Structure 1
């Protein structure tokens, strides 16, 4: 490895250390209590070093959201598309999404249950045309379109349907995270019934 490559690796390692520390503070103390000073104290760097790599805490938050978004896409991307049972594929994708956040409740609370201005352009999903901006919404729309083509679902506005499915699923996740003492059996019943209601509202009779 040459000098340039070593330097680049060093830069990436420092940036990761900063992002990881910020993520820990974000989850444990909330966005309002996140600061460059606290990040610096946690990793025993000077604030000046952090400012050398990031303009401000907003830029750090955006990096955290980007990483989380990539992990979500990776998670749902592992679900194979069964073109003969597209409705089942849709459920599996949404289950993977639910599982991801139930495994990472702190990040869901910190970012998606708070109104953080700096990341709204990365997490908002209700505007018209959002499927062209969000890979996750694009994938959901593709699955709904496949369900319609295969005669599983009736004709409908695909993007609006994706937005409602997404928001209702977010609502379920938020309650499962807030009410953290719910037994696993009850969680499973709630998730199963969530999908039963969603799919019954979309099927073509």
Structure 2
């Protein structure tokens, strides 16, 4: 077993040294595998980690020297995250840009999306009305640290109230969701109970006779109205 782990460590370390020649996606996959099995030697880590009060979920991210910007290797994360279009962002590699400018915003949004999906019981049902993409869009719209604080933006309570979403839905309208996916469990229970109570009343013989008479009376009135025309 120890020999196998040694071979895996050597293989992953060799792949790590070749990552600069691979594509961005392969780099990300390689990093994921290295971190998953804990096979990255400590010497390839730099001292600066992505730690910030605003981005606590990213404290485990560490950047390697070969993928960092030469002029900004000792720049703290707070100063580096000023603007995505800063000089620092323009000099960084795509991989580091993802880790410093995209993931600190996207990962908390995805975490909030999973929490909302759990509250909506999405993991317990085959069909549900919760839309993860809509939630991500709305969350990022209201919690984008790179955007200036906007009073109108803060007061928006639903994705359908966002101005550009309204314009987009005018061009590409959506099909309405079935009511069964729009109702909460409490609302659905009220509907079912109401229908069941109505059924218990409608099956009473006297009520059935009255409803039959009403149906015949309406049919008679329609025929009479047609004759007069």
The structure where helix makes up a greater share of residues is 1
Higher RCO by CA contacts (8 Å cutoff, separation 6 or greater): 1
TM over 0.5: no
Which bracket does the TM-score occupy, shorter chain normalised? 0.3 to 0.5
TM-score, L = length of structure 1: 0.33
TM-score, L = length of structure 2: 0.31
> Max radius of gyration: which structure?
2
